[in-house]
Amino acid sequence: MCGIAGYIGKNRACPILIDGLRRLEYRGYDSAGFALAEDGGVVILKAVGRVEELEKQVGERDFLGTAGIAHTRWATHGKPSKENAHPHVDCRQEIFLVHNGIIENYKELKESLKKRGHRFSSETDSEVIAHLIEEYYGEDSLEEAVRKALLKATGTYGIAVLSQREPNKIVAARKGSPLILGVGKDEFIIASDVAAIIRYTDRVVYLNDGEMVVIGRDGYEVSNLERTRIDKRVDRIDWSVEKAEKQGFAYFMLKEIFEQPEAIKNAIRGRVLSADGNVKLGGLDDVRERLREINRLVIVACGTAYHAGLVGKYMLEEYAGIRADIEYGSEFRYRKPILDSKTAVLAVSQSGETADTLAAVKEAKNKGALALGIVNAVGSTIARETDAGIYNHAGPEIGVASTKAFTSQLSILALLTVFLGRQREMSCVTGKRILNELAEIERHIKTILKQAKEIEKIARKYSGFNNFLYLGRKYNYPIALEGALKIKEIAYVHAEGYPFGEMKHGSIALIDENFPSIAIVTKDSVYEKTISGVQEIKARGGKIIAIATSGDKEIKKLVDDVIYIPKTLEMLTPMISVVPLQLLAYYFGVQKGLDVDKPRNLAKSVTVE
Ligand code: M6R
């Protein structure tokens, strides 16, 4: 995810673009840049880091230009650097382009453009579009050249293009990435999100996939790539600036919970080889043969990522037939872990900057183990330190409580299980089964999200309790841990996550009518055993909220409240059983009037030991 802003009108563009980027910064913040039509030419400025770094570069400079495009980047292809920052330019430095999305066929396009003499200066997929436009920008107008270029590109894009030859227009187009046109009085703003527009106008045109807009100083025209003109309705936004940044969600946490279907889709996209019941993980290509020889995997992670790793251990041992251990990053290097060249250490980290996890990676490398990563933040330290890895592509996670990164990590761990399993004993049929079920998870999560209102009511009903026991068995044990962590960090409510079978060895002593339990009792291989645990709690007067499989009528008779989730393959159940627990924690926190995006004492990325 990146943020795009463009301005053309009667006012100076620079401050409007910088303000727009600030409001879009949640979409990505590893580098930023803009291109401004100025003095008959185009000025381009880029900075690595946040938008404020770009602002520092602007400094006292008094840009007068009244048309420009800008971008704040969340790196996907190529590390965060000035070269990879947008805008990108063609060979003649005439065309300036900002892009959000992924051009899937960029490698082929780049190769053929190189053969035609184009010189590239970045590692990005985006730059190919600038050069493609250049190919057609002879006799054609800018919009015609953009149209022809986009017909060659596959994947997703939201783009804005400025040309030195035609500085009084901006051409923008979208497919799969959002673009909204703000229609002011004698001025127009194009942006990825209304957050960048709302200060200037509340009148907007929402572009649809396949649409292109040519914005001039006096008006705009929308058409499709087949040149058919489209009359668009002008809508009014009734959101506050604050809300617009969160796309109408009250908090980033809620937005990110609702983004999970998309995050999972992005984690899987392009990686499944359906016919072979196998997966392709490009980031592991270089170590593919070494992975065949690995006989042990040690997963290292912290917090929520640790819980994902614990699910991964269960998946890998059951289906890939490889010994898998899980370690807290903070513990790993302070004991004497036994590692050798047949061990791979897999760091799981959303931010890629967690100091404890990073230290574990370094320890692993020192001891000759292969270091792998599952990381969301492209170009982060862990991504760079590991020998090979897999990116989540979940987009920026802004809420301090990790939600969409968790389910994305589980998706990747499922893919890795198939990958390593197929290198070993896993059959094609089993591989296909896992992948088919994985493709359905997105839909299952959407079904659960529709129950948000009922989950909110349950949270209200239990809001007077200050202690909870979260219980789950086998694949749902890590989810009990994760559910408890979520409510602790978001609602400051004490909770313990526990393996259901362990409860009778001690913590059952806590149970009474004032100590409710959240029991994950999905229909799986341990269902009967879990039900025994439910009965043990009831026999002691404990209240129970159950997370159960749709259609399980019996459970209703045993517990106080039920949240139903769809049935899936047992190893994938955590990807959906966690969602009601995220929502419960969210509503508990909100009902207590807390800022769930910024819980006290916490930071999004823990870069200290
Ligand atoms: O960026 P990482 O995934 O490495 O972060 C690990 C933990 O700090 C993180 O998951 C933390 O526990 C979250 N606040 C949980 O919601």
Q: Residue 247 pLDDT more than 90?
A: no
97 ligand 1 Cβ < 6 A: no
2 assigned to active site? yes
State residue 598's pLDDT score: 81
402 ligand 1 Cβ < 6 A: yes
Q: What percent of the chain has pLDDT over 90?
A: 81
State residue 604's pLDDT score: 67
Residue 50: pLDDT band by 50, 70, 90 thresholds? Answer: confident
For 141-175, what is each residue's pLDDT tens digit?
Answer: 999 999 999 999 998 899 999 999 999 999 999 98
For residues 192 and 177, is the Cβ–Cβ distance under 8 A? yes
State residue 240's pLDDT score: 57
State residue 26's pLDDT score: 66
Pick the most confident of 251-255, 382-386, 484-488, 592-596: 484-488
Higher per-residue pLDDT: 333 or 189: 189
State residue 307's pLDDT score: 98
As a whole number, mean pLDDT of residues 419-425 equals 97
Q: Is CATH 3.40.50.10490 what the domain over 452-591 is classified as, yes or no?
A: yes
Tokens of residue 384, six digits: 């760079």
Residue 353: pLDDT band by 50, 70, 90 thresholds? Answer: confident
As a whole number, mean pLDDT of residues 65-94 equals 93
The CATH number of the structural domain formed by 252-448 is 3.40.50.10490
Tell me which of 326, 346, 349, 350 to substitute to probe ligand 1's pocket, judged by most ligand atoms within 8 Å of the beta carbon: 350
Average pLDDT, whole number, for the chain? 93
- Give the largest Cα separation in the chain, rounded: 83
407 C-alpha to ligand 1 centroid (Å): 13
State residue 185's pLDDT score: 93
As a whole number, mean pLDDT of residues 289-298 equals 96
Q: Give CA–CA dist 36/66, Å, rounded.
A: 8
375 ligand 1 Cβ < 6 A: no
156 ligand 1 Cβ < 6 A: no
State residue 79's pLDDT score: 86
As a whole number, mean pLDDT of residues 216-243 equals 87
Residue nearest to atom 14 of ligand 1 (CA): 401
Residue 236: pLDDT band by 50, 70, 90 thresholds? Answer: confident
Residue 609: pLDDT band by 50, 70, 90 thresholds? Answer: low
Pick the most confident of 171-185, 311-325, 349-363: 311-325
302 assigned to active site? no
Q: Give CA–CA dist 520/383, Å, rounded.
A: 34
CB-based contacts of 512, cutoff 8 Å, min separation 6? 540, 541, 542
Higher per-residue pLDDT: 192 or 88: 88
As a whole number, mean pLDDT of residues 12-22 equals 95
Q: What percent of the chain has pLDDT over 70?
A: 97
Q: Residue 412 pLDDT more than 90?
A: yes
As a whole number, mean pLDDT of residues 375-393 equals 87
Backbone φ and ψ of 191, nearest 5°: -155, 160
State residue 352's pLDDT score: 87
Residue 426: pLDDT band by 50, 70, 90 thresholds? Answer: very high
For 559-590, what is each residue's pLDDT tens digit?
Answer: 999 999 999 999 999 999 999 999 999 999 99
Whole-structure pTM value: 0.73
482 C-alpha to ligand 1 centroid (Å): 11
Domain ranges of the chain: 3-237, 252-448, 452-591
Residue nearest to atom 11 of ligand 1 (CA): 303
Q: Give CA–CA dist 17/190, Å, rounded.
A: 10
Ligand 1 atom closest to residue 401's alpha carbon, by position in its atom list: 16
For residues 346 and 373, is the Cβ–Cβ distance under 8 A? yes
- Would 3-237 and 252-448 be classified into the same CATH topology? no
Q: Give CA–CA dist 161/95, Å, rounded.
A: 7
Residue 381: pLDDT band by 50, 70, 90 thresholds? Answer: confident
Q: Give CA–CA dist 375/412, Å, rounded.
A: 10
**Per the omega criterion (within 30 degrees of 0), is the bond before 87 cis?**
yes
For 525-541, what is each residue's pLDDT tens digit?
Answer: 999 999 999 999 999 99
State residue 241's pLDDT score: 59
Residue nearest to atom 7 of ligand 1 (CA): 303
For 467-513, what is each residue's pLDDT tens digit?
Answer: 999 999 999 999 999 999 999 999 999 999 999 999 999 999 999 99
Tell me which of 328, 330, 354, 479 to substitute to probe ligand 1's pocket, judged by most ligand atoms within 8 Å of the beta carbon: 354
For 83-115, what is each residue's pLDDT tens digit?
Answer: 999 999 999 999 999 999 889 899 999 999 999
304 ligand 1 Cβ < 6 A: yes
The CATH number of the structural domain formed by 3-237 is 3.60.20.10
For residues 550 and 576, is the Cβ–Cβ distance under 8 A? no
Residue 449: CB atoms within 10 Å? 16
State residue 245's pLDDT score: 66
Q: Three-state SS string across 470-523, please? A: EEECHHHHHHHHHHHHHHHHHHCCEEEEEEHHHHHHCHHHHCCCCCCEEEEECC
State residue 249's pLDDT score: 93
Residue 1: pLDDT band by 50, 70, 90 thresholds? Answer: low
State residue 602's pLDDT score: 75
Tokens of residue 511, six digits: 């149970």
Residue 91: CB atoms within 10 Å? 15
Catalytic residue, from 365, 367, 446, 604: name it: 604
Residue 404: pLDDT band by 50, 70, 90 thresholds? Answer: very high
Q: Residue 239 pLDDT more than 90?
A: no
| Of 395, 401, 124, 457, residue with least CA distance to 264 | 395
DSSP-assigned letters across all residues of 286-355: GGHHHHHH--EEEEEE-HHHHHHHHHHHHHIIIII--EEEEEEHHHHTTS-----TTEEEEEEESSS--H
